[in-house]
Amino acid sequence: MITETFNRLFTTRRADNGHPAAAEGAPVVAVRGLSMAFTEAERTRTVLDSVELTVGDSEFMALLGHSGSGKSTLLNLISGIERPTAGSVTIAGTPVTELSERERTLFRRDHIGFVFQFFNLIPTLTVLENVTLPRELAGEDGQAVEAAAMRLLALVGLEDRRDTFPDKLSGGEQQRVAIARALVHDPMLVLADEPTGNLDEQTGAQVLDLLLALTRRRGKTLLMATHNPEIAAMADSVIRVHDGRLEDETHLHVSQVA
């Protein structure tokens, strides 16, 4: 059973699409004093240290940093996949870090789309079944769900591959399926973790263009982790992540990305 606290949190004002609605002018994502540390062989390793971050409505923000800088951990904490050592994450007024594991899972299922570097498609499901899965997990099924999935597959150019299994697709095709899956439940927030990192340069550029076109067309807030300054330069704002800290906690203009 979902707790009374969870029910209370979600009886607050909602947008017309059923998502929690932040107060006018409030950020979609607010991260305050967020820290994450692990104990390894009796030594503590700090991955994130007192991070402060805000992401606005319909904003595309890039988290720019090298591998191991903490940007993927930050996405996991924002989505509720992991819980922080300290600090808070609030999404559209919902205090995600105060939710139980089950409540975070339900919140993520209903309101967040995630695009991973390694696609994370289920190999035993067809393309169409992978795309419809988020809505089926939410208890939806039938022709409306299939129709929504097919519209997205048409937009990503894979309508004719609906009955194909992931192992028969190229890397670029798999990532396009993953984008369709991330958007099928009309999330208010899309998180992308190095979405082109496992693709060649040309295919990666095509996939990135597609992701940006679809999220901007739908007015989504997009938070993307990348190590590539050229990708970061396409964002509305850029935050540099270095050794678990945000080097400049203000938004950098894209012309400042080197």
What pLDDT, on a 0 to 100 scale, did the predictor assign at position 42?
80
Residue 238 has pLDDT above 50, yes or no: yes
Tell whether the model's pLDDT for residue 12 goes beyond 90: no
Q: Could you tell me what percent of the chain has a pLDDT over 90?
A: 74
Model pLDDT, residue 18: 62
- Extract the tokens encoding 72: 């993927």
Q: What average pLDDT score do residues 58-83 get?
A: 94
**Residues 100-119: tens digit of each pLDDT:** 999 999 999 999 999 998 98
In a domain, 223, yes or no: yes
**Pure H helices in the chain:** 4-9, 71-79, 101-111, 127-137, 143-155, 171-183, 201-217, 229-232
Residue 20's pLDDT band (boundaries 50, 70, 90)?
A: low
To which H or E segment does residue 78 belong?
A: helix 71-79
Distance CA 105, CA 78 (A): 12
161 is a domain residue:
yes
CATH classification at residue 222:
3.40.50.300
Mean per-residue pLDDT over the chain, rounded: 87
Split at pLDDT 50, 70, 90, the class of 154 is: very high
Between 1-5, 177-181, 211-215, the lowest mean confidence (pLDDT) is in 1-5
The amino acid at residue 190 is V
Q: Nearest Cα to 187, choosing from 78, 34, 53?
A: 78
**Residue with the larger pLDDT of the pair 99 and 140:** 99
Structural domain contains residue 44: yes
136 close to 145: Cβ distance less than 8 angstroms? yes
In 59-98, which ranges are E strands? 60-64, 86-91, 94-95
Residue range(s) defining the domain that contains residue 59 = 4-253
- Sheet (strand 112-115) strand order: 112-115, 189-193, 221-226, 60-64, 237-242, 245-246
CA 47 to chain centre: 19
**Model confidence pLDDT, tens digit, residues 198-229:** 899 999 999 999 999 999 999 999 999 999 99
> Is residue 258 assigned to a domain?
no
pTM: 0.85
CB atoms within 10 A of CB 24: 6
Query: Which residues, in sequence order, are bridge partners of residue 245?
Result: 242
How far is 225 from 232, CA to CA, in rounded Å? 9
Token reading at 91: 């999404």
Pair 248, 65: CB distance under 8 Å: no
Q: For position 227, what pLDDT does the model report?
A: 93
Q: Which residues neighbour 98 within 8 Å (Cβ) at sequence distance 6 or greater?
A: 5, 88
In degrees rounded to 5, what are phi and psi of residue 199?
-120, 155
**pLDDT confidence tier of residue 246, bands split at 50, 70 and 90:** confident
Q: Is 144 left (phi over 0), alpha (psi -120 to 50) or beta?
A: alpha
State how many domains the chain has.
1
